[in-house]
Structure 1
Amino acid sequence: MAKATKKQALGRGLSALLKDPENDIKSVDDKNADKVVGNIIELELESIEVNPFQPRTSFNDETLRELATSIKEIGVIQPITVRKLDFNKYQLVSGERRYRASKLAGLETIPSYIRIANDQESLTMALVENIQRQDLDPIEIALSYQRLMDEIKLTQEQLSDRVGKKRSTIANYLRLLKLDPIIQTGMRDGFISMGHGRALINVDEQQKQLDIYEKIIGDSLSVRNTEELVRSLNDKSGATTGTKSSATTTKVPEYVSKGVKEFAEYFGAKIDVKVSPNGKGKLIIPFSSEEDFKRLKKLVNSEK
Structure 2
Amino acid sequence: MTVRKGGLGRGLDAMISETASKPRTTATATKKTVAPKEKKENSVLKVKLTQVEPNRKQPRKQFDEDALLELAESIKQFGVLQPLLVKQKGDYYEIIAGERRWRASKLAGIKEVPVIVKELTEQETVEISLIENIQRENLNPIEEAAAYRRLIDEFHLKQDVIAERVSKSRTAVTNSMRLLKLDERVQQMLIEEMISTGHARALLAIEDKESQYAAAVKVFDEKLNVRETEKLVKEFLNPIPKKEEKVRDTAQDLVYEQLEEKIKGIIGSKVAIRRKNNNKGKIEIEYYSQDELERIVELLESVR
User: Structure 2 length as normaliser, TM-score?
Assistant: 0.65
Q: Does 1:121 align with 2:124?
A: yes
Counterpart residue identity of residue 185, structure 1: Q
CA distance in 2, matches of 1:73, 1:44: 19
Runs of 4+ in 1 over 4 A off after TM superposition: none
What residue in structure 1 maps to residue 55 of structure 2?
Answer: 51
CA distance in 1, matches of 2:193, 2:60: 15
CA distance in 1, matches of 2:171, 2:46: 41
Residue of structure 2 aligned with 1:179, choices 176, 182, 188: 182
CA distance in 2, matches of 1:38, 1:138: 34
Q: Does 1:199 align with 2:202?
A: yes
What residue in structure 2 maps to residue 72 of structure 1?
Answer: 76
CA distance in 1, matches of 2:102, 2:217: 37
- Give the secondary-structure state (helix, strand or coil) at the position aligned to 2:113: strand
Counterpart residue identity of residue 207, structure 1: E
What residue in structure 2 maps to residue 109 of structure 1?
Answer: 112
Is 89-98 or 124-133 further displaced after alignment? 124-133
What residue in structure 1 maps to residue 93 of structure 2?
Answer: 90
Please say if residues 84 and 117 of structure 1, whose CA atoms lie closer than 8 Å, have aligned partners that are also in contact. Answer: no
What residue in structure 2 maps to residue 168 of structure 1?
Answer: 171
Superposed CA RMSD in Å reads 2.1
CA distance in 2, matches of 1:134, 1:44: 28
**Which of 1 and 2 has greater Rg?**
2
What residue in structure 1 maps to residue 193 of structure 2?
Answer: 190
CA distance in 1, matches of 2:122, 2:161: 19
Deviation at 1:192, TM superposition (A): 0.8
What residue in structure 2 maps to residue 270 of structure 1?
Answer: none
Higher relative contact order (CA 8 A, sep 6+): 2
Deviation at 1:181, TM superposition (A): 0.2
What residue in structure 1 maps to residue 239 of structure 2?
Answer: 236
Deviation at 1:114, TM superposition (A): 1.6
Please say if residues 53 and 127 of structure 1, whose CA atoms lie closer than 8 Å, have aligned partners that are also in contact. Answer: no
Counterpart residue identity of residue 66, structure 1: E
- Give the secondary-structure state (helix, strand or coil) at the position aligned to 1:112: strand
Q: Does 1:36 align with 2:40?
A: yes
Q: Which sections of structure 1, spanning at least 5 residues, go unmatched?
A: 1-24, 241-304
User: Structure 1 length as normaliser, TM-score?
Assistant: 0.65
CA distance in 1, matches of 2:163, 2:73: 38
Counterpart residue identity of residue 202, structure 2: A
Give matches, 1:133-172, under 5 Å: 133-172=136-175
CA distance in 1, matches of 2:225, 2:82: 37
Please say if residues 60 and 138 of structure 2, whose CA atoms lie closer than 8 Å, have aligned partners that are also in contact. Answer: no
Between Structure 1 and Structure 2, how many residues are aligned? 211
Counterpart residue identity of residue 224, structure 2: L
Deviation at 1:134, TM superposition (A): 4.3
- Give the secondary-structure state (helix, strand or coil) at the position aligned to 1:236: coil
What residue in structure 2 maps to residue 208 of structure 1?
Answer: 211
Q: Which sections of structure 2, spanning at least 5 residues, go unmatched?
A: 1-28, 243-304
- Give the secondary-structure state (helix, strand or coil) at the position aligned to 1:69: helix
Counterpart residue identity of residue 172, structure 2: T
What residue in structure 2 maps to residue 13 of structure 1?
Answer: none
